[in-house]
Structure 1
Amino acid sequence: MGSPWDRGPRPPRKGPPRDRGASGPGERVPSERAPAGERPRRPSAEAPASPGAPPRPARREEVRLYGLNAVQAVFERRPQAIRKLYLLQARVHALRPLLAWCVQNRVGYRVVENEDLDRLAASSHHEGVVADVLRSDPLPLEDWLASLAPGAPALALWLDGVGNPHNFGAILRSAAHFGAAVLLPERSTLALSGAAARVAEGGAEGVALVRLPGNDAALARLHAAGFASAATVVRDGEDLFAMQPQPRLVYVMGAEGEGMDAGLAGACQHRVSIAGTGAVESLNVAAATAVFLAHWAAARR
């Protein structure tokens, strides 16, 4: 079973809530998380506007992505987000349409050596290309719900505490494959990074990221829109393979080790488990997510 559920719901914590999305026990960020490459660069300071001048529009943050499919997906879906490109000479032919677009739109690119890309990405898994792109902000929940066709089936993943960028990237890849949205809690710091985008293999650009309000308000709005809610737990839940999933469904996935917030799990309409042999305690959260999504997709066929 998936790991959010690895330990089942967490007991309510005392004291002020902590931000979610940071790696919890059992979900450690690998050492190649690329602090320099993954962090959005802040724009340089600007002089204040003169009195009476209209306010300047907010400048969007950039994120450094790497990996051939990740960069190609940005070019195919939102080329205007690309701000700078670095590549190996060996990638020039494969990226010729992107380079031509950069020339036409005066976007800088540079052919560099492999060690330069290692440094820029803070990873050796860049596959010969690194790009600085504008970060795409998550949609508000109301905007995402409004974009759905009335009564149409829809699937979403609520990530309650998932923080490992490799797990996040694998979840995005599965979500893109099965057409699911990804819902991020109000306090979650989880965001697309270079590592997540590379693991997603282009899937990050094909998934709707949605920012939720507080748990109670988000669940109420989803239920009102016809979504059933299912907390995924490692044991003592309904057998996933014995149930018929509703056409509109949101699976709540918790972090490995910690599980999900006990209050959130208790507020869901269902608790669902993946039956297995018992040879291992549970599935990794990304692997479990793929199982849940595939089961819903099979029922729609």
Structure 2
Amino acid sequence: MNDPWKNARRPSSRPPRATPLPPREGGTPPPPGRGNDELRLYGWNAVQALFERRPQALRKLYLAEALIPRLQPLLKWCVANRVGYRVVEEGDLNKLAATTHHEGVVADVLRAPMLELGEWLAGLPADKPALALWLDGVGNPHNFGAILRSAAHFGVAGLLLPPDSTLALSGAAARVAEGGAEAVPLVRLPALPQAMEALRAGGFGLAATLVEGGADLFKATLPARLVYVMGAEGEGMDRALAQTCDLQVSIPGSGAVESLNVASATAVLLSHWYAQR
């Protein structure tokens, strides 16, 4: 493997070198694993969205030489703020991202802080429409990324996670989200009764999303402030939780397949609420 830390040739389009990253033994890039407060992003849209919304979270940047002209604003920011970056070979980017789907750029960044429910509710504009997703058991990172992308597209105000949820943003989810991960905050819920009480006090209705047995989504009138409660990929919606919600809805279809997967269903549900606003 070419040594990613040796880069004697400097194309004229490259800005002055930023604060150097220390070489590792054998010249290999650092492993993909990060601490709990850091995340390894990859993919053009994921990294660009981070730069546009939270540039101060950037810690290290790795890029292919071909992206130097396109990443000039980011590289100049790195120089001005003494954030280390390196131009590396394709194989090194594959190892850094642990995938070939990096689109020539990898970044180590600080995670966005997860909000508490009360903090999130207090930050919402009062008496205005708002939509949120309660993810009850969603775990697949690609589904999570697709949900984030749809949520950003339809202006979802937050993704609500149960207190025992292990779901967290990963590099894979952020890449699939195509920048949406920076647009939608993650919110940690308290215990179920307290969470529902606080949401209802904030003017939200809760809609359980069922594969079957709920009211026809396309005939339902949805409240202006709404939380869709989404079930797990395999097991679906927890029935006990569904019964505690204010309404239960299902997406009608041809019956040729049993149901949509959770990411596809989310896009349909969000679009219906959005159309009614």
Normalized against structure 1, the TM-score is what? 0.80
* Higher RCO (CA-CA < 8 Å; seq separation 6+): 1
Post-superposition CA distance 1:247-299 (Å, at most 9, x none) = 00000001111123332112111110000000000001001000000000000
**What's the counterpart of residue 289 of structure 1?**
266
Q: What's the secondary structure of 1:256's corresponding residue? A: coil
- Partner residue in 1 for 2:9: none
- State the partner residue of 2:61: 85
* 1:40 and 2:4 aligned: no
Fraction of identical pairs, as percent: 68
List structure 1 segments (4+ residues) > 2 angstroms apart after TM superposition: 39-42, 260-263
Shift of 1:150: 1.3
Structure 2: which amino acid aligns with 1:188?
S
Match in the other structure for 2:172: 195
1:220 is displaced (CA, Å) by 1.1
**What is the letter of the counterpart of residue 101 of structure 1?**
W
Tell me the residue number matched to 2:146: 170
SS at match of 1:186: coil
Residue identity opposite 1:122 in structure 2: A
Gap regions ≥5 residues in structure 2: 1-30
Whether contact under 8 Å (2:64, 2:105) holds in the other structure is yes
In the aligned structure 1, how far is the partner of 2:249 from the partner of 2:114?
A: 27
Supply the AA of the counterpart residue of 2:69: H
Structure 1 counterpart of 2:41, one-letter code: L
Q: Cα deviations across residues 108-164 of structure 1 (Å, max 9, x unaligned)?
A: 000000110110110110000000000112110001110111111100000001000
CA distance, structure 2, for counterparts of residue 292 and residue 226 of structure 1: 19
Please point out which of 94, 101, 104 is paired with 1:128.
Answer: 104
In structure 1, give the amino acid aligned to 2:160: L
Number of residue pairs matched? 246
Contact 2:163 2:189 in 1 (8 A): yes
Q: Name the structure 2 match of 1:235.
A: 212
Q: What residue identity is the alignment partner of 2:84?
A: G
- Structure 1 distance, partners of 2:139, 2:234, is 12
2:5 maps to what in 1? none
Q: Shift of residue 177 of structure 1?
A: 0.7
1:252 corresponding residue in structure 2: 229
Equivalent-residue separation in structure 2 for 1:98 and 1:262 (angstroms):
48
List alignment gaps of at least 5 residues for structure 1: 1-35, 43-60
Instruction: Give 2:153's aligned amino acid.
Output: H
> CA deviation digits over 1:44-94, x for unaligned, max 9?
xxxxxxxxxxxxxxxxx1110000000000000010000000000011111
In 1, Cα distance between equivalents of 2:247 and 2:140: 26
CA–CA separation in structure 1 for the residues paired with 2:124 and 2:52: 23
Q: Which residue of 1 aligns with 2:189?
A: 212
Contact persistence 2:59–2:110 (CA under 8 A): yes
TM-aligned CA deviation for residue 215 of structure 1? 1.3
SS of structure 2 residue aligned to 1:292: helix
Correspondence for 2:121: 145
Q: Does 1:262 align with 2:239?
A: yes
Q: Is the 8 A contact 2:161 2:189 kept in 1?
A: yes
> When the two structures are superposed, what TM-score results if normalisation uses the length of structure 2?
0.87
- What's the counterpart of residue 57 of structure 1? none
SS in 2 for 1:116: helix
Give the secondary structure class of the aligned counterpart of 1:294: helix
- Equivalent residue of 2:85, what SS? strand
SS in 2 for 1:198: helix
Aligned residue for 1:258, secondary structure, equals coil
Matched residue, 2:52: 76
- The offset of 1:192, in angstroms, is 0.8
